[in-house]
Amino acid sequence: MEAFQRATAWVDIGAIARNCERLRSELTPGSRLCAVVKANGYGHGVGDCARAALEGGAEMLAVAAASEAFELREAKLTQIPVLTMGALTDPELDVALGARSEIGVWREDFLDDVAERGAAFGIRPRVHVKYDSGMGRLGEKDAAAAERLLERAAADERVDLAGFWTHFATADEDDRGYFDEQLARFAPLVERARAAYGPSLIVHAANSAATLREPASHFDMVRCGVAVYGLDPFGRDAAEQRLEPALGLSSYVAEVKRFEPGESAGYGRTWTAEQPTHLGIVPIGYGDGVRRALGNKAEVLIGGRRYRSAGTISMDNLTVDLGPEPVAERGDEVVLLGRSGEDAVRAEEWAGLLETINYEVTCGISPRVPRIVRK
C-alpha cells in the first residue's frame, strides 16, 4: 500500500514547455510569446513554470504584482524581461523597479513617478503604454490621450518607450462582435504608433483565446496565460486546442466506513444513504481549494474508476460513495484533477459544476498544498 500526502498538486513542466511550443506554432511571422505567470503561475508554481515556458520558447514573462516580479528574480530568472501589468503603489513601484521589471503605464502622473523612481535606482525604466480599447479596467480609454502619453514617454529621456498594448474582454466568446470592435479601435493607433516610434516598439494585445482564434491580433507579441498551463481558453476541452493540462491534484483514501440506509455524512446532512454502502473519507477539502459547492456533484478517480462525492465538502475532508461492495480501500490514491487509468477529471469539468472558469479552479488551490514537479 503506497503512502500519499494528504494533498498534492502534481505539475508537469514538460507539458508547459510543449504548450508554449504549440502556441508559438500559431504565431504570425515576427510575433513572440510572452508567458503570463501571475498568481503563482495560475496556481501551478511560478519558478519552475516560468523556466518551462522559456524552454518552450517564451521570450518574456508577465505578472500582475510587483511581488511577483521580485519572486521571479529570486528564482534566479535574472536575465529574462519581465512586464508588471498591474496597478502599483509607490512602495510596490520601488519593488518592481528593484526587480528591473518593465512597467505598464496609462497616466501621465504615473509615468512621471516611474521616471523619477527609476532615476533613484540609477536605471532607465522600460514602459508599456496601455490603451483601454474596451476592457473597462486599467488603461487610458481616450485614444487621443493614449497617443499623447506615447509621445510623452518617447520624449522623456528618463524612460524607454518599450511597448503599446491593450487587452480583450471577449476573445473567448463565440460571438466575436465586441472582440472585433476592440481590435478595430486598437489597429489604427498601432499603425500611427509604429510610424512614429519605429520597429523597437513592441505592440501586444492577444491573450490565449485571441492567439488561437485571430492572427490579426498577434502584432509583435502575444501574452498567453491559461493556455500555457494546458487549460482551454474557451472553457471546453484542452485537447481540442492540442493543449496538455499541466496540473493534477491528488489525495488518498484515509478511511472506509459502512453506512446503513438513513445514515448521513457531513455538515448539514446533505447526503443520506439510500441503501447499504461504503464511504471513503479523503483528507482534502475547501481549505485546499476543493470548493464547498462541489459537494454531491464532483467526481474523483480511484484506480481509474469514477466515484461521486457524498455530502458537504468540509475544510479538510470530503467523502465519496464507494458503493455497497467497494473495490477501493484505505491507502488508495484519489485523483481529484488529472488522469487515472483511461479517464481524467479536468479543471473544465469543475468549472462547469461551479459555473466559473477553469483557471479560477487552478488558482484556487491553496498554498498548503505542495506543488511537486514532474518532468
Q: How many C-beta atoms lie closer than 10 Å to residue 197's C-beta?
A: 16
Residue that is written with C-alpha cell 514537479 in the block: 373
Q: What nine digits make up the cell of 68?
A: 511577483
Q: What is the CA radius of gyration of the chain?
A: 24
Q: Based on the residue annotation, tell me whether 197 is a catalytic residue of this protein.
A: no
Q: What was the pLDDT predicted at 13?
A: 97
Q: What nine digits make up the cell of 201?
A: 516598439
Q: What span, in angstroms and rounded, lies between the C-alpha atoms of 54 and 35? A: 8
Q: What was the pLDDT predicted at 1?
A: 36
Q: What was the pLDDT predicted at 43?
A: 96
Domain with residues 247-345, CATH architecture: Beta Barrel (2.40)
- Bridge partners of residue 344, in order along the sequence: 339
Q: What span, in angstroms and rounded, lies between the C-alpha atoms of 55 and 16? A: 9
Q: What nine digits make up the cell of 47?
A: 519558478
Q: What was the pLDDT predicted at 2?
A: 46
Profile the chain (375 residues) by mean pLDDT over runs of 10 residues.
Answer: 75 98 97 98 96 98 98 94 98 97 98 97 97 97 98 98 98 96 98 97 98 98 98 95 97 97 97 97 98 97 97 98 95 97 97 96 96 90
Q: What span, in angstroms and rounded, lies between the C-alpha atoms of 89 and 56? A: 33
Q: What was the pLDDT predicted at 374?
A: 86
Same CATH topology for 13-232 and 247-345: the answer is no
Q: What span, in angstroms and rounded, lies between the C-alpha atoms of 178 and 167? A: 12
Question: Which of 257, 267, 286, 297 is flagged as catalytic?
Answer: 267
CATH 3.20.20.10 fits 13-232, yes or no: yes
Q: What was the pLDDT predicted at 4?
A: 61
Dihedral sign for Cα 287, 291, 296, 299, please.
negative
Q: What span, in angstroms and rounded, lies between the C-alpha atoms of 248 and 371? A: 10
The pTM of the full predicted model, rounded to 2 decimals, is: 0.95
Contact 290, 316 (CB under 8 A): no
Residue that is written with C-alpha cell 497616466 in the block: 107
Nearest CA among 10, 8, 11 for reference residue 19:
11
Q: What span, in angstroms and rounded, lies between the C-alpha atoms of 71 and 353? A: 33
Q: What span, in angstroms and rounded, lies between the C-alpha atoms of 82 and 171? A: 24
Q: What was the pLDDT predicted at 48?
A: 95
Per domain, the residue ranges of the chain are 13-232, 247-345
CA separation, residue 234 to residues 38, 174, 288, 357 (Å): 20, 9, 26, 9
Q: Based on the residue annotation, tell me whether 267 is a catalytic residue of this protein.
A: yes
Q: Where are the beta strands (DSSP E) in 6-117?
A: 8-12, 32-36, 60-63, 82-84, 102-105
